[in-house]
Amino acid sequence: MAKFECDHCGKCCCSFGEFIKIERQLSSRDYYCRYGIKNELFLAHIESDYTDSQPPSLKEGKQVKGCAFMRENQKGKGIACAIYATRPRICRDFRCYRMVIRHPDGPECGRIMGRNDLKTTDEALKQIWKERISPQLPSHDDPRWENAVIDALAFHGYFGERVE
């Protein structure tokens, strides 16, 4: 199994982060928040590296779109979570891709997002996926889905690895 590695794109923070609402501020770094879809209440604690920072959109004077706790990543490009250690379960469990695809020579050459969305720069893989693999897959909630993808990729010389 491949280990999930976040690339700090911030797409998840911008989409389902909109459902995280601050209900009450307890101190300068502590908040009671609610994840609206599941109506879960959680305590959020802003990590010390982010106590003086604001969401990127606030710094630019725009309305915040997404999670109020997203910040510019201090370790490089992208977005970071100011409440990473206390983030809600939805954030802990979320994986924006579910499978890594490796070229027959070994390096990663693609990722599968959702059921049918392949991200790759490998033109041969793109064509095989579109014409031969994707149309033949069972529904994504079918437990056989991952095995069907792995087997189909192997038939064409690629290796699929589930993401944990």
Verify that 69 and 142 share a domain, yes or no.
no
pLDDT of residue 31: 95
Verify that 85 and 49 share a domain, yes or no.
yes
Verify that 131 and 86 share a domain, yes or no.
no
- Work out how many domains the chain is built from and give that number: 2
pLDDT mean for each 10 residues of the chain (164 residues): 86 85 94 92 94 66 74 83 92 89 95 88 96 86 85 96 90
pTM for this predicted structure: 0.74
Verify that 87 and 114 share a domain, yes or no.
no
Domain end (from 72, 93, 114): 93
Verify that 26 and 84 share a domain, yes or no.
yes
3-class DSSP string for the chain = CECCCCCCCCHHHHHHHHHEEEEEECCCCEEEEEECCCCEEEEEECCHHHCCCCCHHHHCCCCCCCCCCEEECCCCCCEEECCHHHCCHHHHHCCCCCEEEECCCCCEEEEEECCCEEEECCHHHHHHHHHHHHHHCCCCCCCCHHHHHHHHHHHCCCEEEEEC
Q: What residues make up the domain containing 35?
A: 11-93
Domain end (from 43, 75, 93): 93
In-domain check, residue 51: yes
In-domain check, residue 1: no
Check if the beta carbon of residue 151 is closer than 8 Å to that of residue 132.
no
